[in-house]
Amino acid sequence: MPAGNERNEKTCAQLVEAECDSTIEVLRDLWELYCEDSDAYHDEHGTNLYEYGLGFDYVPLGTFDEQDEGYFRYQISWGGPSDEFRFFTGPDFVPYRIEYWYMDWFDGARRTLRGDDLALMKGIFHWFDDMGCTRGEFDKSQEY
Instruction: Indicate whether 113 belongs to any domain.
Output: yes
For every residue of 29-72, DSSP letters joined together read HHHHHHHH-TTPPBTTTTB-TTTSSSEEEEE-TTSSTT--S-EE
The whole-number pLDDT of residue 6 equals: 53
Q: How many structural domains compose the chain?
A: 1
Instruction: Indicate whether 132 belongs to any domain.
Output: yes
Q: Which domain holds residue 26?
A: 6-141
Is the bond preceding 2 in cis, omega lying within 30 degrees of 0?
A: no
Residuewise pLDDT in 10s, the chain (144 residues): 334 445 558 999 999 999 999 999 999 999 999 999 999 999 999 999 999 999 999 999 877 777 889 999 999 999 879 999 999 999 999 999 999 999 998 899 999 999 999 999 999 999 999 999 999 999 999 886
Q: Evaluate whether 63 touches 69 at the Cβ level (below 8 Å).
A: no
Q: How many helices (H) and strands (E) does the chain have?
A: 4, 5
Instruction: Indicate whether 87 belongs to any domain.
Output: yes
User: What is the distance, to the nearest Å, from the Cα of residue 120 to the centroid of all Cα atoms in its chain?
Assistant: 12
Instruction: Indicate whether 134 belongs to any domain.
Output: yes
Instruction: Indicate whether 1 belongs to any domain.
Output: no
